[in-house]
Amino acid sequence: MHKLKIGIIGATGYTGSELIRILHTHPQADIRLLTSESKAGQKISDIYPTLYGMVDQLLQPMAEVKNHELDVVFLALPHGAAMNFVKDYYDASFRIIDLSGDFRLSSPKVYEEWYGMDHIFPQGFETAVYGLPEMHRARIRQAKLVANPGCYPTASILATYPLVKNQIIAPDSIIVDAKSGITGAGVKPKSATHFTNVHDNFKPYAVKTHRHTVEIQETLSIASGLEATVQFTPHLLPIDRGIIATVYSQPQGEVSEEKIQQAYEEAYADEPFIRLRQQPPSVKDVRGSNFCDIFTTYDARTRRIITVSAIDNLVKGASGQAAHNMNLMFGFAENSGLQQVPINP
């Protein structure tokens, strides 16, 4: 069977190393190129000893892309850097799955407002497909450039999608209270993720200003056909990986527990990575897997719908979802290479 020739650009970050972990055992994947500008010439297993004896490839400079025949390239680069790569290789024969935020939003103008930098390749917005399979499966199959969703947006959108799709809730009533492990901040050390600031601590950050707010808001607006307004507040948990998102929303019209449950069951009946739960999930229920576990209920006393979702931010929130998108783009079984059982404890 023909295997895909794969390049991972920015292989030494958390999402890059997670892609290696997932794709190493994918039956249709052949990792041909791993790049790092700062660690070129070193073995990836010297950076991540978990890969020792399994993936010992040498890291190469990004320019080596030109010397490889690749089918698909994953961009595990920071926002700002990914758009440069897409601009330079947009006409190349390989397809691109971008894990940064550079092409997730509706326009360069919105991007510049929330990311605080100029976008150098606005043409990419014309063809980029937002890579949330549960919403855009058909378009992902045909895409040349897939904008892989953010981790917070994945958890938040999947928690809310059936409600906005069926116009069960007022689109301006959505409040997302989300918590993430520190790997969501990336591999580079920062004062906010220093051990002494995170250990035995818990805090909100980027209140009102987090760039994932607009990603959630735009995607839910598309799903509902109405203009959604989202209040999003992220928090930093003293754990390495995992996200819990608790979403509060206000029904419009008559609603019941049965109607809400039916909306979720119909929306996610055939989804391989959505598990509808009878009790609120924890991060360890999904750790290391591509699952999104969702619990929802209606509180008649407050007339609010409460929905809780749990994902692994590095898998369903990043690299696992990217592998799912690859499977769709190349006609593989959607769960190919993604059947890991969650790790608990």
- pLDDT tens digit string along 22-72? 999 999 999 999 999 999 999 999 999 999 999 999 999 999 999 999 999
Domains, the chain, ordered by start: 4-149+316-329 (3.40.50.720), 152-313 (3.30.360.10)
Task: Give the whole-angstrom CA distance, residue 322 versus residue 69.
Answer: 20
Residue in 44, 151, 168, 244 annotated catalytic? 151
- Token couple for 274: 């959505």
Give all strands (DSSP E) within the chain, no chain letters: 4-9, 29-35, 72-75, 95-98, 129-130, 145-147, 174-180, 203-204, 230-236, 243-249, 274-276, 292-299, 304-311
Cα separation values, 265 from 146, 158, 223, 309, Å = 27, 13, 17, 15
CA neighbor of 264 nearest in space, from 117, 340, 175, 163: 163
**What's the pTM?**
0.97
Kindly give the confidence (pLDDT) of every residue in the chain, 345 residues in length, as a single tens digit, with 9 standing for 90 and above: 589 999 999 999 999 999 999 999 999 999 999 999 999 999 999 999 999 999 999 999 999 999 999 999 999 999 999 999 999 999 999 999 999 999 999 999 999 999 999 999 999 999 999 999 999 999 999 999 999 999 999 999 999 999 999 999 999 999 999 999 999 988 888 888 889 999 999 999 999 999 999 999 999 999 999 999 999 999 999 999 999 999 999 999 999 999 999 999 999 999 999 999 999 999 999 999 999 999 999 999 999 999 999 999 999 999 999 999 999 999 999 999 999 999 999
Helices 212-224, 133-142: axis angle to 10 degrees equals: 90
* Residues linked to residue 175 through DSSP beta bridges, in sequence order: 231, 248
Task: Give the whole-angstrom CA distance, residue 65 versus residue 73.
Answer: 9
* Residues linked to residue 232 through DSSP beta bridges, in sequence order: 176
Buried/exposed 193-219: b ≥16 CB within 10 Å, e otherwise: beeeebeeeeeeeeeeebbbbbbbbbb
Instruction: Confirm whether 292 is a catalytic residue.
Output: no
- Token couple for 119: 């976008």
CA neighbor of 23 nearest in space, from 46, 53, 55: 55
Q: Which residues contact 138 (CB under 8 A, 6 or more apart)?
A: none
CA neighbor of 16 nearest in space, from 54, 51, 64: 51
Three-state DSSP class for 327?
A: helix
